Structure 1
Amino acid sequence: MKVKVITFLIFSSIVPYIYFPYYISYLSITTNSETRKTSTQSEQCEPDIAPFYIYDLPDRFNMMLVISNCSSVSSWFNICPYLDNRGMGQLFSKSNWYNTYQFTANMLFHARAVNHPCRTYDLSSARIFYIPLYASLFVHWFGNEKNLTQREAVWVDFLNHISRLPTFQRHGSHDHFLVTGLMVWDFIHSPGQKEGELRLNDFLTFPQLANVSILTIERNAYSDAKNQCSIPYPSYFHPQLKSEITMWQDEVHRSERTHLFSFVGGARPPGHIADKYRLAVISQCNRTESCLLVQCKYWGSVWDSGR
C-alpha cells in the first residue's frame, strides 16, 4: 500500500530548546502494513505526523565536531560560541534571543527531534528515518582541503556506513531524510568550477542520496532533482512557549515604526549570479539621502549584537 507520510519538519512551538514554524515535506513510502502505535507516541503526537526514527550515528559524523573539534571546524573564525545550546548559540541579554549562526539548522533540527513526541525507538514502527548528519560543519571543516578526493572522504565514509543499514535499503531510502544546514550550492560541483576551489564538494550528487529527502537552504531550482526541499535560515528568536510568540507579536504591533527596512546582503564580485541584483539595490540606496545603507562588518560586533 502506497501512502503519503508527512514529516514533522521539526521546529514546532512548545519545546525546551528550539522554536521554528512548522514546515511540511511529503515522502512517498511503500509499506505493507498500517502504522502501529508505540509507547513513544503520546497524545501530544499529532495524528498527521508519522512516527520517525533517529539513527544513532557514530560521533565522527556529528557530535565529534561540536564536542572535540569545534575550534578547528573553521579556519576563518572560532565557531565554538555559535554551537552552544545545541546550535542556538550564546544567549543575548534579552530572554529567548540567541546569537544563532545561520548555518546550524541541522543542529537545531537534531535537538528538536530528540525530544519530539512522535519519535519512536522501534525500527519496525517507524515510517520515516532521520539521519542526523552535521553536513554544514563538515563543509567548514574540510573547506580548505585542495584535493577533492580527500575533501569528500568524509562523505564516502558516511555513505558507506548508512547504505549498509537494512532500513536504508528496505524501501530504497525513499523514507529517509537529512538536513544539510547550508545552501545546496555548497554540495554540488558545478561544471564551471575547478577542483581546487574552496568548499567545493559533490555530496548531493552521490547516487546513494538520490532518493533521500534533502532539507536544505536555497534548493537547486535549476535542477530536476525532486528530493530537495527548501527550509529557512534560523533566526535569533527561540521562544519556548507559544505565549512568548504572541507576546513578541503584540510588542511589534504596538511599536511605532517610521522606517522601511530591507535586507540586501553583501555585494558580490563581478560575474556572480547575484551581483547585478544586489549591486543595483545598493547603488540606488547610495544615490539618495532618504536611504541609509547599514554596513555590518563580517563577524564583527554589529553582526553579533542581534540588533
Structure 2
Amino acid sequence: MKEKEKSILKTLTLCKSHQSRWQMHIFPLLISSILSSLFFLFLSYSSSCPSSSSSSSSSSSSPSSLTLSLSAAARTDPCSGRYLYVYDLPDKFNDGIVRDCHAIFPWVDMCPYVANMGLGPHLNETGSVLTGTGWHITNQWVLEVIFHNRIRQYECLTANSSQADAFFVPYYVGLDTGRNLWRHNISMQERDSLLVELIQFLKSRPEWSAKGGRDHFILSGRATWDLQRKDDGHSQWGSKLLMLPEVKNMTVLLIEANAWARNEFAIPYPTNFHPSKESQVVEWLDKVRSTNRPWLFSFAGARRPGQADSIRDQLFDQCLKSTHCKLLDCASAGNNCDIPATTMSLFQSSNFCLQPTGDTPTRRSAFDSMLAGCIPVFFTPHSAYTQYKWYLPNNYSEYSVYIPEDEIREGRVSIEEVLLKYSEEEIRNMKEKVVSLIPTLIYKDPSYKLESVRDAFDVAIDGVLVRVKSIVGD
C-alpha cells in the first residue's frame, strides 16, 4: 500500500471513530453542563477531521492514533527480505564428516582444526605480535564448518520455508572432496555418493521445485578448480559438483571462484583472527595502524623448482638482492610458516607483501597480509581483481599494486624499483585503505554476536540475498 493511501485510510478511521462517539452522546437529553461543554468541545474537534482526500494530522495522544501506530510498528519486520531457511540434512553431509576428522586428509590430522566450531585451537599466548585475544590456529580448508556455525546464529532464520528469501544447503563439499582426492582405491561412484544423494534429496523437495533451485546457495571451503571434474575417468581430479546442471542454478560461494561462471562468488579465506568482542577488532586495527614497518616489501613462501610457469624463483632472487626486502623461506628448516606469529610478524614489519599465485591463483597469505595491514602486490588479476568483488574495491590501485607476472618472469621489471616510486603519503593512504577493509575480511567467532562489526559472513549473506532477488524477483 502506498504511503498516501495509508494516510487516507488512517484519516478515515480517525474520523469514523470520532463521529461514532459523537453519535453516542447526542441522544442523552439531560446531561450536566460540564459534560455538555466536553461534548461541544469534542464535536468541534470531530468536525475538524479532513475529508478522505486530505492527509491525517490527528493528535499523538488519540487512542485511535496510538492503536494505528502500534499496528504499523508490529507490521515492521527487520528481517523482511532477509529470511534464510537452512536445510536440516542428515549429519553425514556435514557434522558426520567433522566427527570422522581423522579421515579428512591422509597426512594431516584435521581433528584439532575442526574443533571450536572450525576455528581451531586457541592461541592463548599471543605475545606482542598478536596482541589481544581472539586468535586461533585456523586451517585454510575449514570455512564450511565456520560458516555453518555462523549461519546457525543468524538472526533471520526461519523454519517456515514459504517465508524464506534464500535457502542454504549445509553440505561440506570441500571436506568431503578432500577426503577422497588421494584415495586411489575408491571408485568415482563412491567418491560422488554423497553429492548424488544430496541432489536427489533437493529435487524431491517442494522448496527446490518452486524456483528450480535458483534461490538456493551452497558453500565450498575449497577452490573452484577442485570441483570441476568433467567426467568419471579414474585419473580425473576432484568433485563434479560445479558441473551438475542443478548446481548451475544455485549460488555457489567458494574461497576461490571461476571468474567466468555467473553463479560462483569468491569469499575470503579464513585467517587466524576470530574476534568475540568489538574491542578486539578496535585494538587490532589500532595496532596495525601504528606498527613500525622497517621493510619496504617482503615475501613469505617457498620456491617451486618443478613449475616452469611459477615466478617464485624470481621473487626469491629479487628479494635476496634487495636491502629493502625481508624473505621468509617457508621450506627452510626452522621456519614454520603455519605458526601465525611467524608470518604475521613479517607482514606487520612490511609496507608491501608479495602475493604470487600458489597452487591456484589466490593463496590464503593474501588475506593474512592484509589482516596485518600490509599492502598486497599481485602478479595476476585472478589473484583478487576478478574475484572477491563483494569485498575489495573496484579500483585496485587504492589498496594494492599490480605487476604483470610476465614482466617478472622475463626479467623486465625490478620489484624494488616499482615500489620505491610510491611516496610516503601514497603508502600511508593505501595502508589505511587496507586497514579499513579488515573487518569485512575476517570471520567472527560464531559463539558471540558483534552488533557493530560486519564481517565476511555478513557481506556474503547480503551478496547472496541481492543476487537471489535479482534472478527470482520478489
If the length of structure 1 is used for normalisation, what is the TM-score? 0.75
Tell me the amino acid that sits aligned with residue 107 of structure 1: V
Question: Is the 2:118–2:145 Cα contact (8 Å) retained in structure 1?
Answer: yes
Q: How does 1:197-276 map to 2 (within 5 A)?
A: 197=236, 199-221=237-259, 223=260, 225-262=261-298, 265-268=301-304, 270=306, 275-276=309-310
Rounded to whole Å, the distance in 2 between the matches of 1:62 and 1:96 is 25
1:169 matched to 2:209? The reply is yes
1:64 matched to 2:66? The reply is no
Shift in alpha-carbon separation, 1:264–1:169, aligned structure 2, 3 A: farther
Give the Å deviation of 1:289.
Answer: 5.1
Identity of aligned residues (%): 31
Give the Å deviation of 1:267.
Answer: 3.9
Equivalent residue in structure 1 for 2:219, among 179, 183, 195: 179
Give the Å deviation of 1:133.
Answer: 1.0
Structure with the larger RCO, 1 or 2 (CA within 8 Å, 6+ apart): 1
Tell me the amino acid that sits aligned with residue 158 of structure 1: L
Q: How does 1:15-30 map to 2 (within 5 A)?
A: none
Q: Find the counterpart in structure 2 of residue 292 from structure 1.
A: 326
Rounded to whole Å, the distance in 2 between the matches of 1:77 and 1:123 is 39
Give the Å deviation of 1:282.
Answer: 2.6
Aligned residues: 257
Q: How large is the Cα RMSD of the aligned pairs?
A: 2.7
Rounded to whole Å, the distance in 1 between the matches of 2:305 and 2:86 is 41
Task: Give the SS at the match of 2:219.
Answer: strand
Question: Is the 2:295–2:324 Cα contact (8 Å) retained in structure 1?
Answer: no
Equivalent residue in structure 2 for 1:303, among 332, 337, 341: 337
Q: Find the counterpart in structure 2 of residue 35 from structure 1.
A: none
If the length of structure 2 is used for normalisation, what is the TM-score? 0.50
Equivalent residue in structure 1 for 2:317, among 272, 283, 295: 283
Shift in alpha-carbon separation, 1:103–1:116, aligned structure 2, 3 A: same
Rounded to whole Å, the distance in 2 between the matches of 1:269 and 1:194 is 29
Rounded to whole Å, the distance in 1 between the matches of 2:331 and 2:305 is 17
Question: Is the 1:73–1:138 Cα contact (8 Å) retained in structure 2?
Answer: yes
1:113 matched to 2:141? The reply is no
Give the Å deviation of 1:170.
Answer: 0.9
Rounded to whole Å, the distance in 2 between the matches of 1:168 and 1:202 is 20
Rounded to whole Å, the distance in 2 between the matches of 1:203 and 1:72 is 21
Q: Which runs of 5+ in 1 are unaligned?
A: 1-38
Question: Is the 1:145–1:151 Cα contact (8 Å) retained in structure 2?
Answer: no
Rounded to whole Å, the distance in 1 between the matches of 2:198 and 2:148 is 17
Give the Å deviation of 1:163.
Answer: 2.1
Give the Å deviation of 1:278.
Answer: 3.2
Tell me the amino acid that sits aligned with residue 80 of structure 1: C
Task: Give the SS at the match of 2:102.
Answer: helix
Q: Which runs of 5+ in 2 are unaligned?
A: 1-73, 127-132, 342-474
Equivalent residue in structure 2 for 1:152, among 171, 189, 192: 192
Shift in alpha-carbon separation, 1:263–1:206, aligned structure 2, 3 A: farther
